[in-house]
Structure 1
Amino acid sequence: MRESLRRLASEEVMQPPRRAGRRRCAVELIDGETLELDVQRKAKGGELLDLVCQHLGVDERDYFGLQHAERGDPRVWVDLNRRLSKTFKNSPWEVRLAVKFYPPEPADLAEDITRDQLMYAVRRDLIEGRLSCSLVTHALLGSYLLQAELGDAECEVTGSQMLRHRVAPPRALSKELEEKINDLYAMNKGQNPAEAVLNYLENAKKLPLYGAELHCARDADDVDLVIGVCAGGISIYRDGLLMNRFPWAKLTKISYNKKCYTLKLRPSEFDEFETSLSFRLPATRACKKLWRCSVEHHMFFRRAEAVTVEKVRLFPRLGSRRLSCRRTLRQLRADATDQRTQITA
């Protein structure tokens, strides 16, 4: 007993002293690897995101965000403008890097490294069941993924190798799918990794739920629905089928009150007044999450610049309506154009 106590005491002495005012963060990257970082205790979410992107060499950081688990929900976005110490209590702080705003045209991205991360994000969506596709599309995407990671095919890829590279969800991987992937993989010979990644994304962007953040809700008739928010606007699904699609230009207002989420639609040429559609969410927290997701997507893809939502005096509850959007898509493209101009000059 005494010997064990002496050993523990000596180990404590040998361990390096913990730097005051710093916290350890465990970040799950999009490709499945884990990155551990030390950050200041007073650091904000945006500073941690910048550190992760800097480690990966990603400059187009505004497409990305950090997720954490909260009250049983594993996909809560970290507020980039809030101190991490107010979000996390226990150490290490565990977060997950994810693509928050999926670009509608992956070819418009300025850097190959951003497209690589986007490909891994789509792969993770397929593996975790947020995105579905046919067997033929699985085979096509899997062949481009193998081309990007392994280069030209020298021999057939086995099922265990496909599982290791996560070319498709394990439940969907069959002998037929393996054969189709190998046939298409052989046809990709000569493509460099950047070309294979772009071909992967050009096919992935055609999937109905590409880049959509899904939220469960009910309509006025108490029918279960799924509300999807993406670059093009807001879509309503029932039993996996698209019921309605509302482009951003069609929407005039997005609001919520407790569990009620409301969309106001611009009147058409045959309507005299605006139309309102209301949906019921399971809880106020879920409703607020959907509202925030909708407003942030509208801001990123439609507005010229990000808007700061100020805290409303005398109403402290409204102070939580901060938005984690630092630059919009237009600002990103303008900055990229300016950089190209400076290089050519």
Structure 2
Amino acid sequence: LPCSFVTYCILGSYIVQSEAGDHDPTQHIGIKYIQDHPFAPHMLQTPEMLGRIVELHKLHRGKTPEEADRLFLSNARKLALYGVDLHKVKTSQGQDITLGVYYGGILLYRNRIRLMRISWPRIISLSHRGRNFIIARRPGDDSLDRNMTFKCISPTLAKRLYN
């Protein structure tokens, strides 16, 4: 999930507490004990981030794995894209966008900026044909086409979005 540096550190510290237990200075030396765990996208996970995760891990002494998991979920669920199933697709004009499916409907993003939210009540039907995923929308105040077609990377993805 995309989030801030601080949030990656907090979430990472709960993962470490859940998996490694309380910080033990004799076993948990520096950042070595966590450096092989992916806490953030590779390009964002720096020694500075790992050091911050270690410092936060020390503060979680006494928390059980269940408590650490609950705290992880409590923080993760507040993220804007928590629970959104994101997929790279192309518009009918060939533009790269990200399509997200979530409990409230479908989200469309370009370069991490939300372009549109289509709530389930505004959707008449969903369909797929080959690599195409099609959304038929109810007429509304906007001037956009009622049918929106997206080209997926595979027919399997188009079918998955449909289901």
* TM value normalised by structure 1: 0.40
CA distance in 2, matches of 1:282, 1:183: 41
Over the matched positions of the two proteins, sequence identity in percent amounts to 31
Say which of 162, 172, 181 aligns to 2:53: 181
Tell me by how many angstroms 1:144 deviates.
0.7
- 1:235 corresponds to 2:107: yes
Structure 1 residue 231: Cα displacement: 3.1
Query: RMSD of aligned C-alpha atoms?
Result: 2.7
Partner of 1:249: 121
Task: Kindly indicate which of the two structures has a greater share of residues assigned to helix.
Answer: 1
Matched ranges for 1:142-221 at <5 A: 142-155=12-25, 157-221=29-93
Structure 1 unaligned blocks of 5 or more: 1-130, 293-345
CA–CA distance in structure 1, aligned partners of residues 115 and 29 of structure 2? 40
SS of equivalent residue, structure 2 residue 34: helix
Residue number in structure 2 paired with 1:324: none
Q: Give how far 1:244 is off.
A: 1.3
Q: Distance in 2 between matches of 1:162 and 1:263?
A: 44
Q: What is the CA–CA distance in structure 1 between the aligned matches of 2:139 and 2:74, rounded to whole Å? A: 34
Cα displacement (A) at 1:257:
2.8
Closer/same/farther in 2, CA of residues 209 and 151 from structure 1, 3 Å limit: same
Aligned partner of 1:290 in structure 2 is 161
Q: What do the CA deviations read for 1:190-226 (whole angstroms, capped 9, x no partner)?
A: 3222111011112222333334333332223221112
Q: Which runs of 5+ in 2 are unaligned?
A: none
Say which one has the larger Rg. Answer: 1
1 or 2 for the larger relative contact order (CA 8 Å, sep ≥6)? 2
Query: Which residue does the alignment assign to 2:149?
Result: 278
Contact 1:157 1:182 in 2 (8 A): no
Equivalent position of 2:136 in the other structure = 264
* CA spacing shift, 1:171–1:159, aligned 2, 3 Å: farther
Match of 1:281, as an amino acid? C
User: How far off its partner does 1:284 sit?
Assistant: 3.8
Aligned length: 159
TM superposition outliers: structure 1 runs of 4+ over 6 Å: none
Give the secondary-structure state (helix, strand or coil) at the position aligned to 1:163: coil
Cα offset, 1:188, TM superposition: 2.0
Residues 263/170 of structure 1: CA separation in 2 closer, same or farther (3 Å cut): closer
| 3-state SS of 2:117 partner | strand
Structure holding more strand per residue: 2
